[in-house]
Structure 1
Amino acid sequence: MAALCAAIAIIAVVVPFAAGLSLLGTVPMGLLAYRHRLRVLLAATIAGGLVAFLIAGMGGLMTVVNCAYIGGLTGIVKRRGRGTPTVFLCSLVAGALFGIVIVAALGVLSRLRNLIFDSMTANITGAAAVLERVPGFAPAAERLTRDFATALYYWPFLFFGMGVLSITFVSLVGWWALSRVMKRLVDVPDVHKLEVTPDTAPVAPVPLRLTDVCFRYPNSDHDALGPVSLEVRPGEHLAVTGANGSGKTTLMLVLSGREATSGTVERPGAVGLGKLGGTAVVMQHPESQVLGSRVADDVVWGLPPGTDTDVEKLLGEVGLDGLAERDTGGLSGGELQRLAVAAALAREPSLLIADEVTSMVDQDGREDLMAVLSGLTRRHRTALVHITHYNDEADAADRTVALVGNGASSDNTEMVQTADAPPASGVAETPRGKPVLELVGVGHEYGSGTPWAKAALSGIDLTVHEGDGLLIHGLNGSGKSTLAWIMAGLALPTSGSCLLDGKPVSDQVGAVAISFQAARLQLMRSHVGHEIASAAGFSKRDRDRINAALGTVGLDPALADRRIDQLSGGQMRRVVLAGLLARSPRALILDEPLAGLDAASQRGLLQLLVDLRRRERLTVVVISHDFAGLEELCPRTLHLRDGVLAAEPTTAGGMS
């Protein structure tokens, strides 16, 4: 949020006549003030202000400070349920303080005061000269000059009044504009936020017992979890499984300290979320937990001063030997997950909760990460609660609890089966259609021409035909996503060419649709119908086309009026597909389409894609680490190893 505010401030200062854009910078600051404590806003102001100062000077710094003031005032007033009278009174106080500071500064800095006086006098003299040229306005011009000289004589009162008026005016205008924006933004639920509960008891999260626990999110008419009864014992490895929407992530929130709606949660002491000896959480997307710029910094981030931490030992334990000085921005997904585990272990937690931490990791990385997690209960006497969809990961646990909607069962439900990577094949179903995508000698290098240049792809020759189903597999960092972006026209190859129907695909952006790994990040509108219409490029009032698009992906047309945040993970992926398919793309690229989906959701999505490929002759390219069930959708398989096509599946030994 601080970076977003700083970027807006820099644009407002650097770009001519763009000062009005600074009002947009109040939005991220307002959201911070509304949802977090004041010190979060102060930290964001300092961070954003320093960046803006280094790039745009004092103008950038002051713009960030102004955004923080207006956004902070609006957010805090909104959070406390107050209105315009409160803003007016607060702005008078802030204006008075600002006026006092200005008067004090000008009283000490006499040369600056004289410079400002001369500048203001010149402006008033010029204005008076213009008025004198207007018939009948000569007395007014003389009066203006005389009155300004009198006001300047009492300059402390003049500048104090100007400070109060300017701050009050800016505050009221900012409140009027920002409150209307926040009225829409604050309705976006932040339901999966981890909460630190105030508790003065000694930190002791386990043994943990849940008895008939239910949880209902605000403004919901049904329970997202429960009733659930389970026990977590010290040093135990417990696997939690269940279908999408069964309440696994909600259970994670309750275990990490969120207060249950009903039922009892018994612990011997405080939860201690993030504290030494307390509870640590490793989430599905590790980039949201990595804060340090160096690997070593991130391991100890947030620990109390004076904490003795053997960083090298922790990094070695999670398979990151020798990477303490590495920039966290250059780590792969699997390495980021390992780093998140190391940072959690630095707190010596009594309870570690891992929420689907392997869903975005390749199979070799998944096995390594599971070996680390499984060993925690033996080496650290840490209770591990691992939320997963995979059968082999659940089998590694001491005990498995399967959530089945509004309840828990000790019987396991159907799990996602793991499978070996299929062999590389150039054979497709017959008859093969005409060429759609043609890649000739495609290579791509990041940072080309700099000392940090890194080759991502090299010498890729590939033809994708109409109606083809192609699977691209490789380890994290092998170049799969880079290849997908080039095929979609979103990135230009450094060498070679990528053609769509004989023309550069980069000149036809949108003709090849791409679905990203995290479906939620691709959904930009508040409601399903609006999202589909926006993605496909037609009016949101065209219900017939919206209903047809929903029917294409097997969703009930009644979902058109549903909020995006009320959908399950599988439904979100289908809504993304509905919007993309409604544009009638020449080809469809799916980046990790099965990640985070339960077995039934995976099966339904795959069958849908198989039917579309056969019925509509849709060209489908799938990038995936999960292979079970893909045989019918993707008759062809390509393996990427270090940016080049390989004949055999990539293994751990082939990782760079």
Structure 2
Amino acid sequence: MELAHAAVMAALCAAIAIIAVVVPFAAGLSLLGTVPMGLLAYRYRLRVLITATVAGGIIAFLIAGMGGLMTVVNCAYIGGLTGIVKRRGRGTTTVVAAALVAGALFGLAIVAALAVLARLRHLIFESVTANVAGVAAILERIPNMQGAAERLTRDFGTVLDYWPVLFFLAGVFSITWVSLVGWWALSKVLARLLGVPDVHKLEPSADTGPVVPVPLQLRDVVFRYPGTDRDALGPLSLDVQPGEHLAVTGPNGSGKTTLMLVLSGREPTSGTVQRPGAVGLGKLGGTAVVLQHPESQVLGTRVADDVVWGLPPGVTIEVDRLLAEVGLDGFSERDTGGLSGGELQRLAVAGALAREPSLLIADEVTSMVDQDGRDAVMSVLSGLTRNHRTALVHITHYNNEAEAADRTVNLTGRGIADNTADVPMVEKADVHPATAGDDAPRGAPVLELNGVSHEYGLGTPWAQTALRDIDFAVHEGDGVLIHGLNGSGKSTLAWIMAGLLEPASGSCLLDGRPVSDQVGAVAIAFQAARLQLMRSHVALEIASTAGFSMYDQAKVTEALRTVGLEPTLASRRIEQLSGGQMRRVVLAGLLARKPRALILDEPLAGLDGASQQGLLQLLVDLRRRERLTVVVISHDFAGLEELCPRILHLENGVLAATPTAAGGMS
């Protein structure tokens, strides 16, 4: 984990340093590089900061020379000083004292270097003398300043005779000044970052002893997040036995993810959690967790590397076999950055299985996976309980997945319900044939794609074709579902239609002009709604997205009501929203911009049955009442028939006519 953070922060600091050196008049941007270094120093050991400094410095030196290297070193010094002082609870006095010591050392180093390098010393003297002479020349042209100009020239010549003192004091002053400026700026940034609650953080396993996470017993467990006034979970009592397949269901906001945290080792607010041994989170034979959004779990740049990331040295893993089990056969050499959301989810499952866990917690692991992949992943997970005595706790909204478990419990927000008969679940839906739709609008198209093709890594050995010869049009008030398996090119097509990505060939037109020249006119809601919410509060998020003031309460209220949310949510923090509420807040901001079309990339992923029904009904009403043009990108069909009368099938980057019996296209 420390290595991963060091790598990411080093790359970020190096990029900032390179920009600051290469771009004219951009030197002030180098101060931004202190932020990632300061976060490393605040949260981790000194060796993590040193590792990031070396890595970032090498990258910056290779691209921007000594200027880039020194910028990274300066950022590491200021960020490290600020982070360490903050972590130890000290203040400005400590910073000044440390800066004076560092400045004195820096000044002594300069004096020693100039004493040895005589030619460099004379060159610097000539440069400084020329600058002073230039200032004196300017002063001479000002009335009554001729005497000051003469004194400046004479006094500087005298001071230069004592150059060791001059350069020592200059070093002390410069380091102290830069340290204080960096301390002030970085303190402001850290104060804001540390104010953002990381409520769903998985804590590293700190327990000792043998790793035996099951059998597991929860007795009257209650969990309340810091700074809140209500319990997120419980009181709850629950047993998990070795080899048991337990399904956990419940509406969004009922505490399913909080239960995952408790099962993986987080201490409850009250109640007891009993295990025969250590949790062993991420350790061999311990507890493994697969999260709902796999982007937060995939760390390696190559698929095979990510599967074995974090495993102890000497452990032998059959990577190809694991990848084949989760439907990623032949993917071992692929770049993780080019995987679709469903493929990333399968990779996260493979990484968890590599640890041969005694307890596997799967939090909505199939929400981003197509039906074929969902069946494959569930087959692998169910096989663990039969063949390896692995206990599986599967959090899900799908009825067929819950029925496959040995036992199902339903969280209601106040413990466990004894049955799930009245819980709205997500139904499995069969593939529908491609159709033009009975109510397809007529007239000039809003969006028109002509021969659109795209290839990632064009001109490199890693080139991969994502789309080929896509032709179709979307009219005003149209509802179009673009269906396809994971990796078929759906998300790439969505980005091109929104103007975020230019096709390698062909054209994507909005009202007759390239959509890439009109970014923002076509709104897009991404798969993971949380990653699209950039502000701290609901009102600020909606106003920022729509382009009006957050203090315009009438517009904020109207936007919230448009998506079926109460106006009282305007003051709520984003972290306090459920998954369904987050998706609606994203929609509220996008719709308030009055877009020409709305693209929804997997809009139902991670939502319970009731939330799906509510969101779909809202979109259907908007399409019919406001003539909103809607394009849905999804691998599911359940409930989308009314919203999207037109269905287009995408297979391996090509539009196909009809689905096969297996769910593919022919």
Same fold (TM over 0.5): yes
> Contact 1:475 / 1:655 at 8 angstroms: preserved in 2?
no
In structure 2, the partner of 1:592 is 602
> Contact 1:435 / 1:501 at 8 angstroms: preserved in 2?
yes
Q: Does 1:147 align with 2:151?
A: no
Alignment match of 1:26 (pick from 30, 34, 37):
34
Q: Does 1:617 align with 2:621?
A: no
In structure 1, the partner of 2:447 is 437
1:367-378 correspondence runs (5 A): 367-378=375-386
Q: Distance in 1 between matches of 2:26 and 2:583?
A: 38
Tell me the alpha carbon deviations over residues 188-225 of structure 1, each in whole angstroms, 9 at most, x when there is no partner: 11111111142222222111111111111121111111
In structure 1, the partner of 2:4 is none
In structure 1, the partner of 2:529 is 519
Aligned residue for 1:464, secondary structure, equals strand
1:159 to 1:370, Cα distance in 2 relative to 1, 3 A: farther
In structure 1, the partner of 2:398 is 390
Q: Distance in 2 between matches of 1:626 and 1:51?
A: 44
State the shift of 1:408 in Å.
Answer: 2.1
1:54 to 1:371, Cα distance in 2 relative to 1, 3 A: farther
In structure 1, the partner of 2:285 is 277
Q: Distance in 1 between matches of 2:171 and 2:132?
A: 24
Q: Does 1:473 align with 2:477?
A: no
In structure 1, the partner of 2:236 is 228
Q: Does 1:116 align with 2:120?
A: yes
Q: Distance in 1 between matches of 2:62 and 2:378?
A: 44
My pick for the range that moved more, 77-86 or 3-12, is 77-86
List runs of 5+ in structure 2 lacking aligned partners.
Answer: 1-8, 141-145
Alignment match of 2:83 (pick from 75, 79, 87):
75
Matched to 1:114, the amino acid is: A
Q: Distance in 1 between matches of 2:656 and 2:407?
A: 40
State the shift of 1:322 in Å.
Answer: 4.3
My pick for the range that moved more, 565-574 or 94-103, is 94-103
In structure 1, the partner of 2:253 is 245
CA RMSD of aligned residues (A): 2.4
> Contact 2:623 / 2:630 at 8 angstroms: preserved in 1?
yes
Q: Does 1:537 align with 2:547?
A: yes
> Contact 1:473 / 1:639 at 8 angstroms: preserved in 2?
yes
Q: Distance in 1 between matches of 2:135 and 2:480?
A: 77
Q: Does 1:12 align with 2:20?
A: yes
In structure 2, the partner of 1:548 is 558
Q: Distance in 2 between matches of 1:94 and 1:207?
A: 55
1:392 to 1:33, Cα distance in 2 relative to 1, 3 A: farther
Q: Distance in 1 between matches of 2:359 and 2:219?
A: 19
In structure 2, the partner of 1:47 is 55
Q: Distance in 1 between matches of 2:112 and 2:377?
A: 60
Matched to 1:398, the amino acid is: D
Alignment match of 2:639 (pick from 615, 621, 629):
629
Alignment match of 1:214 (pick from 214, 222, 227):
222
> Contact 1:124 / 1:145 at 8 angstroms: preserved in 2?
no
In structure 1, the partner of 2:569 is 559
Q: Distance in 2 between matches of 1:336 and 1:105?
A: 53
Q: Distance in 2 between matches of 1:75 and 1:545?
A: 41
Matched to 1:294, the amino acid is: R
In structure 2, the partner of 1:180 is 188
Matched to 2:544, the amino acid is: S
> Contact 1:32 / 1:40 at 8 angstroms: preserved in 2?
yes
1:519 to 1:651, Cα distance in 2 relative to 1, 3 A: farther
State the shift of 1:645 in Å.
Answer: 1.4
TM-score (norm 2): 0.91
Identity of aligned residues (%): 76
1:586 to 1:136, Cα distance in 2 relative to 1, 3 A: same
Matched to 2:161, the amino acid is: A
Aligned residue for 1:596, secondary structure, equals coil
Q: Distance in 2 between matches of 1:316 and 1:634?
A: 34
- Number of aligned residue pairs: give it: 648
In structure 2, the partner of 1:417 is 427
Tell me the alpha carbon deviations over residues 117-172 of structure 1, each in whole angstroms, 9 at most, x when there is no partner: 1133113432454466532243442232122222x3xx3x6655444333222111
List runs of 5+ in structure 1 lacking aligned partners.
Answer: none
1:443 to 1:305, Cα distance in 2 relative to 1, 3 A: closer
Tell me the alpha carbon deviations over residues 604-635 of structure 1, each in whole angstroms, 9 at most, x when there is no partner: 00000011111111111111122111111111
Aligned residue for 1:136, secondary structure, equals helix
My pick for the range that moved more, 491-500 or 509-518, is 491-500
Q: Distance in 2 between matches of 1:374 and 1:397?
A: 8
State the shift of 1:178 in Å.
Answer: 1.6
TM-score (norm 1): 0.93
State the shift of 1:434 in Å.
Answer: 4.6
In structure 1, the partner of 2:264 is 256
> Contact 2:159 / 2:166 at 8 angstroms: preserved in 1?
no
In structure 2, the partner of 1:601 is 611
State the shift of 1:387 in Å.
Answer: 1.3
1:39 to 1:262, Cα distance in 2 relative to 1, 3 A: farther
1:17 to 1:409, Cα distance in 2 relative to 1, 3 A: same
Matched to 2:294, the amino acid is: P
In structure 2, the partner of 1:136 is 147
In structure 2, the partner of 1:84 is 92
1:351 to 1:39, Cα distance in 2 relative to 1, 3 A: farther
Aligned residue for 2:93, secondary structure, equals helix
Alignment match of 1:381 (pick from 379, 382, 389):
389
Q: Does 1:642 align with 2:646?
A: no
State the shift of 1:94 in Å.
Answer: 3.5
My pick for the range that moved more, 573-582 or 427-436, is 427-436
1:317 to 1:477, Cα distance in 2 relative to 1, 3 A: closer
1:355 to 1:42, Cα distance in 2 relative to 1, 3 A: farther
1:40 to 1:373, Cα distance in 2 relative to 1, 3 A: farther
State the shift of 1:91 in Å.
Answer: 2.4
Q: Does 1:291 align with 2:303?
A: no
Q: Distance in 2 between matches of 1:654 and 1:390?
A: 21
1:104 to 1:252, Cα distance in 2 relative to 1, 3 A: farther
In structure 1, the partner of 2:213 is 205
State the shift of 1:12 in Å.
Answer: 0.5
My pick for the range that moved more, 594-603 or 578-587, is 578-587
